[in-house]
Amino acid sequence: MKTVVNPVKSTWSELLARPTMDLESIEGLVRPVMESVQSRGDSALREFTEKFDGVSLSDLQVTTEEISQAISQVDDDLKAAISIAKKNIETFHQAQKDDFVKVETMPGVNCFRKSVGIDKVGLYIPGGTAPLFSTVLMLAVPAKIAGSRELVLCTPPDKSGNVHPAILYTAQLVGIEKIFKVGGAQAVAAMTFGTETIPQVYKIFGPGNQYVTAAKQLAMKYGVAIDMPAGPSEVAVYADESAVPAFVAADLLSQAEHGVDSQVVLVASSEEIVNEVKAEVADQLKTLPRAEFAEKALSNSIAIVLSDEDQAIDLLNEYGAEHLILSVKKPWGVANRIVNAGSVFLGNYTPESAGDYASGTNHTLPTNGYAKMYSGVSLDSFVKKITYQEITPQGLSVLGPVVETMAAAEELEAHKNAVTLRLNEINNV
């Protein structure tokens, strides 16, 4: 991790550049996979599963026997932890439910809006170097609260053709019945087009590698919505003299261990803080099982010293981190000025890991700077808003002439006539 002291603003964009993905070339690899699944269905899925996951499967769907076996393999401590996390995620997302909105915009003109769950949603759960059973909670819990009727879960099998027990345990806990042993771009294709076994969905959720990301973006071209564009995981930490270097180092490493293309950014108020954090990083790295991943991610990362708080906040907003940790004396003073971030963690005792697992907020967040225009997954991600209107004869008597005037100005006579005929009837003309 290199250090830069008080860089001028014109260099920030270059300093904060993410590890690049050549999406055009990746799309060139993914598109034939998508097209093959579209045309050949399950046979293509089996072929790609053998090619990419190294296992030959006769049945793509997880059986009830496999789920029962998985339940027995998950220890009681983990089951209890998952249960607490589920409750917290339910509590936070349940609070996001909209009431039925009714507004009388003028006498006799009533407008309404209500949220309706997206009927069919697809959940992609990575299962490669890290089986993300926590993502099952983050996606399925709000989907259930929103009222989505059909949840389809795809996750890659291991070399023995099995799905990680914790993923299956969590999936059955939240009530998912359609679970398939399919990963990668082919899983996204299956949920986009539907196959003999896997249902087509209306919206696809979940993180994944660069091939999954490219496939999700291609899915939009075929009329299927996605949660957001996503890329490698990232964190930015803003630390001043009140920060605990060991905590900051642990937070940086918690993201770096995700994968070699992850990125961490440290913004500090002094070089002394940077040096203390770097020493802690080196010390903690020695004990990490995924140290190799973390070391490579750190090579994509940077520490920036900015003694001026205003400049530091400007830089953090320029970066638009997926996760932003504020290890500063007055975190809310800084947080209130942050406009670009996926999720913000305030103070020395709020590790990013808490949001990843169990505090209640959602860990499916915009990366690669998309926090400037995208929100993370929430209950809103699983609903669509339908508006209604109901107008009384008295209301149309007042509103109708307004509509007639506007329609005439746009030279849309049929629009005007739809009102005029009703006004004539009301007025017995």
Active site residue 234: no
Is 308 labelled a binding residue? Answer: no
Q: Are 114 and 101 in contact (CB under 8 A)?
A: yes
Out of 93, 164, 323, 363, pick the active-site residue: 323
Listed in order, strand segments (DSSP E) in 284-382 are 302-305, 321-327, 341-346
Domain with 396 in it: what CATH number?
A: 1.20.5.1300
Instruction: Determine the pLDDT at residue 427.
Output: 93
pTM score over 0.85: yes
Same domain for 254 and 349, yes or no, is yes
Angle, CA 407 vertex, CA 406 and CA 411 arms, to 5°: 120
Give CA 29 to chain center in angstroms: 24
Residue 149, classified by CB atoms within 10 Å of its CB into exposed (0-12), middle (13-18) or buried (19+), is exposed
Residue 383 in any domain: the answer is no
Listed as ranges, residues in the chain with pLDDT below 70 are 20-21, 129, 429
**Among residues 322, 363, 404, 411, which one is catalytic?**
322
Q: pLDDT at position 252, please?
A: 96
Binding residue per annotation — 349?
no
Q: Is 164 annotated as a binding residue?
A: no
93 is an active site residue: no
Which residue, of 345, 360, 375, is where some domain finishes? 360
pLDDT at residue number 21? 66
Q: Do 212 and 69 fall into the same domain?
A: yes
8 A C-beta contact, residue 166 and residue 131: yes
Alpha carbons 18 and 21: distance in angstroms, whole number: 9
Does 299 count as an annotated binding residue?
no
pLDDT at 153: 98
Do 208 and 314 reside in the same domain of the chain?
no
385: in domain: no
pLDDT value of position 232: 82
Domain that holds residue 417: 392-426
Query: Residue 320 has what pLDDT?
Result: 97
State which of 173, 207, 226 marks the end of a domain.
226
Residue 90 annotated in ligand binding: no
Residue 258: the pLDDT is 85
Q: Which residues are within 8 A (CB) of 310 and not within 5 positions of it... i.e. 6 or more apart?
A: none
Residue 124 annotated as binding site: yes
